[in-house]
Structure 1
Amino acid sequence: MTTNRLHPLSAVTNAVQRGVVGGSVMFFLVSILSGMVSMVEVSWAFVLSPLGFLVGVGYAVAYYYRFEYELTEDTFDIASGVLSRRDREIPFGRVQNVDVRQGVVSRILGIAVVTIETAGGGSSEATLSFVSDDEAARLQREIRRRTAARDRPTRREDGVDPSADERAPVSGDPSQTASDSGADVTPSGAPVDTRPESSARDQRPESAPDGTAYRPRQLFALEMRELLLYSFASFRKAAVAALGFLTLFGMDFVVEYLLSVTDAVTQGSATGGGMPTRSLVFGTVSVAHAVAVTYAVSIAYTFVSYYGFRLGRAGDDLVYERGLLQRYSGSIPLEKVQSVTITDNPVQRLIGYAGLRVETAGYGPDSDSGSQSAVPFARRPRAQTFAERLSGVEPPTFDRPTTVARRRYLVRYALVATIPVVGAYALTRVTAFEAWYVALAVYLAVPPAAHLRWAHLGYYVGDEAIVIREGFWSRTTSVVPYYRIQTISTRRSIFQRRLGLASVVVDTASSQTFARSNPTIYDVDLPIARDVHVTGRDRLQDALTARDEGSASIGDGL
């Protein structure tokens, strides 16, 4: 095996970055010391700053020549470090995802960032910044192939080597390819595979005998109409941070603009509205603009992030690509999938759409705590069918918790609603505000909130998986195959014990549990919780036995 280096442009970009940092540090250091120590002159900055720049450039160049990586039969090896040397060996069996990221400038220059994610925790295991386009594709393909070779059995039960199942390279129009390979094409142009399960197991090699790479079999493509609907029917938390950034750097302009709008609403007359009225109008105008700007930023962010989204299958991996300004492509090994989750919000439910994500044990820059979007936005029946085929679960019939749980939520939300009422009353004791009773209106939201919380809970204990539904504003329907369960436990709080209720927690190895709670069946009767616990434990053992015998595998239905 021969070692490889990063692209030469990596040395150039890194040298510029570290040089600027080195020069800036020396400039600010001299500036601070000159104000504290009389012996230090400000003019020293014009000498030391270029010296800091050269030191940074020299370190970057040394780092480039000291950074090496190598693909072996069993591991991906990286050696790096200038003053402190670090050698890493990443076993292919631990690799969760291999992502390739390209910005606009990177695409023009023909370079990319390759990120390797493992089940190791809260950061990417390795990042190659930068390599050429061809090298990024080669690494992604080779790591994916060797990871799949570690995960799948060497030979099937019929004695045929899976790697021997070769097909001709794919060429031409993707939709025509889907049709020729036995897949139907939906009205939106995205193919749906209708082949028998045995032929749907795509175990072809990564390249043809002549070295031509196979094109992944397309499973889903986000069309422009769906992308626009997704952008308008979703909300990104990052948009709030963007609003804060815009406000921070344009505070004077923002305040002046909001005051001008307020004056226009109040007719710009001091007699047209007193100070309390003007303050109320200003607050209303500020909130309305904040909501509008945040929503607009969210629309733009979603559109740019998921432009051109495609999902396919190559061998034992799901492969995807997306993005307009910054292009992402990556792979999700089917063997690493821990659970499948259908997501929606009230707007998406209203128009009959939903999304689908898969949970892995990996964590990286293109994943949300181990969560990867497999189908960002599709009609709900289609997303449900995709989830059923991916996980092997039969169509679920949900059971709801007992109505005692709804009464519990009513009391809980009533106690929460008391907080703003008490706060409003306390405000009357220290200010001129007297209309504290207006806050009582919050109690009107308590009954519908308790009902909606209860109505959107559900669970289904199937033959192949447990399906758990929860949430209203952001509803999730999690499908957890039994063989992916790490632990299943019954939990009871002091209030649940008084009501004879319990919750069943299903824990997997997915990293999404670092950011969100485990899938949980909330507030069912204690006998039912114990029955689910025992059933889940027994079927877990049966599923593990079936997998040991090679008769169960996630993704067989795709």
Structure 2
Amino acid sequence: MDEPASGPADGPDRPPEPQRTAPLSVLVGALGSLQNAIFPAAAAIFGIGISAKGLMIGIGIGLLIAVAGSVFTYVSWRRLTYTIGTADIRVESGVLSRAARSVPFERIQDVSLEQKLIPRVLGLVAVKFETGAGGGEDLSLTYLTEDAGEELRQVVRERRDAHEGAAAIESGDGHAAAAAPEPAAEVIFAMDPPRLFRFGLFEFSLAVFAVLAGLLQYAETFADLDLFNAELWEMVLEEQGSTIAALGPYMQLAGAIAGLIAVFVIGSVTGMIRVFTRDWGFLLERTARGFRRRRGLFTKTDVVMPIHRVQALKIGTRLIRYRFGWHKLEFVSLAQDAGSSSHVVAPFAQMHEIEPVVEIAGFHLPKPDADWHRASETYRTVHMVMDALPFLLAAIIAGIVLAIASPEWIMVAVPILLLLAAISAGAALYSWQFKRHTLDEQQIIARSGIMSPDTQIATRKKLHSVEVAQGPIARLCGYATLHLGLAGGVFSIPGVPIERALEVRRKVLDTIAATDFSELETA
């Protein structure tokens, strides 16, 4: 068994003892090696031929890969230790070469627990320490028992809070207070099965067809089939064409409708499966430490996000779900969530459900009387020209080429390209009306999107910098792009008139300069 996570030392003179992860981690690794051996074994069997000899060689190769992977997993487990000190957590690993990494507790943004299917069956969790470093540099321990993982998370939080409290006392903050009993968690957003089913209807996906297309690349390996044989496809099309022609126009129409229905059903089921596996049991709670989000059917995640570490908000939607009032709320944070800096805290919610979550995070939605500013009209004109230019150039080239080669096609190709150019210019003109931003005493808000508008909100005092960027065309036309320095995310507002851009920069920098960051909440 893995040793308890608490108690790094029995006394002041005794150094903390290194600990190992759960022994069952070796079994998880062995099962993973067995899974990795399936494809090479199958490839060997089909490559040699389905015979007694082929089966023996394929199974032998699979067993060899599985055994080698299991041995390496065991040795790696023996060589991996973690030590919980008074100021940091240290992880040492490596078989042939040793590597050691120490992370101070005050650098840890968040501690999350993750359970994939096999570790979940075995009662194991992966403990991930989010440092905000990005680029896959966060620390993780795979795997600990569920109790040990929860205990380790609690110990790290307590040590981190103790260091932050000591720093606050040294800086003269006398009320960096004593810990009070944590109140019970308050559920602020949840998704039950009916909500998940409704969500799945909007998550239409044709990913299954992409998978099938990928498998077709290996069809020649498993069957005597030449997919790149033109005569084969000509024969198939002739047979299908003759069969369809014999059905008559009504049956052809019915077949086309049935095909579309089948595609819709498959896409809906695929989206439904993805939603239920990812967001099953979705629960967002408000705790004494911030937000706690739990979700997942096969892979269960348990993430805690301190309120003061939420840097910005993103409210997004899609074309169809927007017509029914459904939106997605994300927190931009230094910590990572499945490789992204945005934590999804309400994947499918109405605005009246999103508003209280936004307020708890310390933000507010745009007010009805907000002073919105659109992008520059010159920016609009430039983008109209830039979007239409490729089609105009294509129309000119097509006109010249067809005038020489096939004059009869000029009146077909050129008008189509000119129509596409007009549509592109019209779309740029229409979308310009939805590119806007507003600035109030606390926040800066930007919106964009025609049929599915997105909103991004940042607190002015949490911004690190403001950059006014201008390329050659922007300098000539008098507009700029505002790049707001945001920890853990990107916040840019394009096409802002230069006078407005300088005004926003001045106001935001005044807010940053007037903020005493030592007084911001750190607990």
TM-score bracket for this pair, using the shorter chain length:
0.7 to 0.9
- Establish whether residue 409 from structure 1 lines up as the match of residue 424 from structure 2: no
After superposition, the Cα gap between the structure-2 partners of 1:272 and 1:10, relative to the gap in structure 1 and judged at 3 Å, is same
Summarize deviations over 1:282-312 as a string: whole Å, max 9, x none.
9999999778755642343123211221111
Matching residue within 240, 244, 255 for 1:268: 244
Q: Is the 8 A contact 1:115 1:124 kept in 2?
A: no
TM-score normalised over the length of structure 1 = 0.72
Q: Percent identity?
A: 20
Q: Distance in 2 between matches of 1:161 and 1:554?
A: 9
SS of residue in 2 equivalent to 1:131: strand
Counterpart for residue 123 of structure 1: 136
Matching residue within 69, 78, 82 for 2:95: 82
- Establish whether residue 486 from structure 1 lines up as the match of residue 464 from structure 2: yes
Counterpart for residue 213 of structure 2: 247
- Establish whether residue 367 from structure 1 lines up as the match of residue 335 from structure 2: no
Matching residue within 303, 321, 332 for 2:294: 321
SS of residue in 2 equivalent to 1:119: coil
Q: Could you tell me how far 1:270 is from its partner in structure 2?
A: 8.8
Q: Is the 8 A contact 2:366 2:445 kept in 1?
A: no
Counterpart for residue 76 of structure 2: 63
Q: Could you tell me how far 1:221 is from its partner in structure 2?
A: 1.3
After superposition, the Cα gap between the structure-2 partners of 1:422 and 1:83, relative to the gap in structure 1 and judged at 3 Å, is farther
Q: Could you tell me how far 1:82 is from its partner in structure 2?
A: 1.6
- Establish whether residue 226 from structure 1 lines up as the match of residue 224 from structure 2: no
RMSD across aligned positions (CA):
4.5
Counterpart for residue 198 of structure 1: none
Q: Distance in 2 between matches of 1:46 and 1:296?
A: 35
Q: Distance in 2 between matches of 1:45 and 1:494?
A: 62
Tell me which moved more, 107-116 or 434-443: 434-443
Counterpart for residue 3 of structure 2: none
Counterpart for residue 351 of structure 2: 380
Q: Distance in 1 between matches of 2:477 and 2:257?
A: 43
The code of the aligned residue for 1:412 comes to M
Q: Is the 8 A contact 1:144 1:331 kept in 2?
A: no
Q: Distance in 1 between matches of 2:295 and 2:432?
A: 36
Q: Could you tell me how far 1:229 is from its partner in structure 2?
A: 3.4
The code of the aligned residue for 1:226 comes to R
Summarize deviations over 1:523-548 as a string: whole Å, max 9, x none.
122111111111111111113x2x32
After superposition, the Cα gap between the structure-2 partners of 1:111 and 1:526, relative to the gap in structure 1 and judged at 3 Å, is same
Q: Distance in 2 between matches of 1:371 and 1:493?
A: 29
- Establish whether residue 98 from structure 1 lines up as the match of residue 64 from structure 2: no
Q: Could you tell me how far 1:504 is from its partner in structure 2?
A: 1.4
SS of residue in 2 equivalent to 1:360: strand
Q: Is the 8 A contact 2:196 2:280 kept in 1?
A: yes
Q: Distance in 2 between matches of 1:250 and 1:433?
A: 40
Q: Please give the residue correspondences for 1:65-464 in structure 2 after superposition, counting only pairs within 5 Å.
A: 65-151=78-164, 154=168, 159-167=174-182, 170=184, 216-234=185-203, 242-250=208-216, 268-269=244-245, 293-294=266-267, 296-363=269-336, 366-393=337-364, 395-396=366-367, 397=370, 398-418=372-392, 421=395, 434=409, 435-436=412-413, 437-464=415-442
Counterpart for residue 467 of structure 1: 445
After superposition, the Cα gap between the structure-2 partners of 1:330 and 1:270, relative to the gap in structure 1 and judged at 3 Å, is same
The code of the aligned residue for 1:497 comes to R
- Establish whether residue 3 from structure 1 lines up as the match of residue 18 from structure 2: yes
Larger RCO: Structure 1 or Structure 2 (Cα < 8 Å, ≥ 6 residues apart)?
A: 1
The code of the aligned residue for 1:537 comes to L
Q: Could you tell me how far 1:123 is from its partner in structure 2?
A: 0.7
Q: Distance in 2 between matches of 1:58 and 1:448?
A: 63
Q: Distance in 2 between matches of 1:553 and 1:413?
A: 46
Unaligned runs of 5+ in 2: 1-7, 9-16, 49-55
The code of the aligned residue for 1:331 comes to V
Q: Could you tell me how far 1:426 is from its partner in structure 2?
A: 9.0
Tell me which moved more, 149-158 or 474-483: 149-158
The code of the aligned residue for 1:306 comes to D
SS of residue in 1 equivalent to 2:113: strand
Q: Is the 8 A contact 2:206 2:266 kept in 1?
A: no
Matching residue within 498, 505, 514 for 2:476: 498
After superposition, the Cα gap between the structure-2 partners of 1:241 and 1:225, relative to the gap in structure 1 and judged at 3 Å, is closer
Q: Could you tell me how far 1:500 is from its partner in structure 2?
A: 1.9
Q: Could you tell me how far 1:339 is from its partner in structure 2?
A: 1.5
Unaligned runs of 5+ in 1: 35-42, 171-215, 513-517
Q: Is the 8 A contact 1:316 1:335 kept in 2?
A: no
Q: Could you tell me how far 1:151 is from its partner in structure 2?
A: 4.6
Q: Distance in 1 between matches of 2:38 and 2:191?
A: 46
SS of residue in 2 equivalent to 1:302: helix
Tell me which moved more, 315-324 or 414-423: 414-423
Q: Is the 8 A contact 2:34 2:62 kept in 1?
A: no
Q: Could you tell me how far 1:383 is from its partner in structure 2?
A: 1.9
Q: Distance in 1 between matches of 2:438 and 2:307?
A: 23
Q: Could you tell me how far 1:95 is from its partner in structure 2?
A: 1.8
SS of residue in 2 equivalent to 1:361: strand
After superposition, the Cα gap between the structure-2 partners of 1:341 and 1:161, relative to the gap in structure 1 and judged at 3 Å, is same
Q: Is the 8 A contact 2:33 2:65 kept in 1?
A: no
